[in-house]
Amino acid sequence: MTASPPRIGGLDVESWGDPEDPIVLLIGAPERLSGDWRRSVRALVEAGRHVVLAADFDQTEDGPAALRRLLTEIPSRPAIVCADETLPVVAPALAVTGPALASCLVIVAAEGQGALSPEVETLLAGVPIQVVLRGDDAEAENAALLGFLERQAPREAMLYQAGSDPRTLRDALGCFATGVTVVTTLDEAGQPVGLTANSFSSVSLDPPLILFCLARSSTNVERFRQAEHFAINVLHIGQQPTSGVFARSQADRFQDVAWETWDTGAPILSGALASFECGTEQIVEAGDHLVIIGRVKRARFEPRRDPLLYFRGKYRRLHFS
């Protein structure tokens, strides 16, 4: 990430990211905007924002005028992020015609300092405002900032698709990101059976219940229907190939996969992010699927690895801002 030193409105600014992306204008000393402002800039750029940093404006009569000149000459209506101590400059600059100059305003304040005076509220009338508390949790700060920007100044115009056909329903359900699991059991001959599934959920902690959904069309549906025990193995980011193996039709899916057994004999994938050994508690007939509920007998997990994710028909990975 490199910075360039353009001039806008006669003022020196720094900028990062693609100039074609929506602008986020940072006003105030960078260290007052975030405990780790470079990380925040990086998060904004990675989220598709063009970040412009303006030097502190003098908190005098000339400050609001200078900021207004900057806003009128900036290529597009920006989202503004400012430290609370710069409000004496920002609020007068946005007075009256604020919505025409800025899409929204984020005020970064210390704990207990986020309340706006009636005078400032009057000056900023019509401008969407979010107060973000400055603290040690940069990730939480960035999440709050990006969430507000997506609501008030989306990177792209919303383009909803609607319908009641199966394709629309499938695509809409694909908007819900999930983890990826391999569900396993033993067949009537004691041989391991497994398949990839992402319809997995917790049900209850007391008693400890979890569930997964299995299509009636699955070649293994009767094996799971008859099984007294099964296991659910949550995959980590390095196990995409394993997911592919158990999603395909092949004679021996376990041939090149390390696995073990615990008390019930249900196959446990040795390198999984988390594994749950279950007794079959209940099977619910639900449309073209079976909802199989299991009572957890034993669980194991590895806390230092990231999960394999699935979103809109593609494998994904966690992104930490």
pLDDT digits (tens, 9 = 90+) for 161-193: 889 898 899 899 999 999 999 999 999 999 999
229: CATH:
2.30.110.10
What is the value of pTM for the model shown?
A: 0.61
Question: Does 1 reside within a domain?
Answer: no
User: From the CB of residue 138, how many other CB atoms can be counted at a distance below 10 Å?
Assistant: 17
Q: Which domain holds residue 220?
A: 168-316
Does 160 fall in a domain?
no
Q: Which of 38, 34, 39 has the alpha carbon at shortest distance from 14?
A: 38
Kindly indicate the confidence band of residue 65, based on its pLDDT and cuts at 50, 70 and 90: confident
- Which H helix or E strand runs over 120? helix 118-123
The domain boundary residue, chosen from 104, 124, 152: 152
Regarding whether 143 and 177 lie in a shared domain, the answer is no
Written as six digits, the tokens of 46 are 């990675």
Number of domains in the chain: 2
Based on the domain organization, do 172 and 312 belong to the same domain?
yes
Is 321 a member of any domain?
A: no
- Is residue 199 within 8 A of residue 259, CB to CB? The reply is no
Q: Is the pLDDT of residue 321 over 60?
A: no
Residue 176 belongs to a domain: yes
* Domain end among 101, 125, 152: 152
pLDDT-derived band at 111, boundaries 50, 70, 90: confident
CA Rg value for the chain: 27
247-263 in b/e burial notation, b at 16+ Cβ within 10 A? Answer: eeeeeebbeebebeeee
DSSP, collapsed to helix, strand or coil, labels residue 15 as: strand
| Residue 40 resides in a domain | yes
Q: Tokens representing 161? A: 């698709």
Q: Which residue has the higher pLDDT, 54 or 10?
A: 54
* Together in a domain, 66 and 199: no
C-alpha separations of 31 from 134, 139, 166 in Å: 10, 15, 50
CB 220 within 8 A of CB 210: no
**Does residue 161 lie in a domain region?**
no
Instruction: Please report whether residue 24 resides in a domain.
Output: yes
Residues 81 and 174 in one domain: no
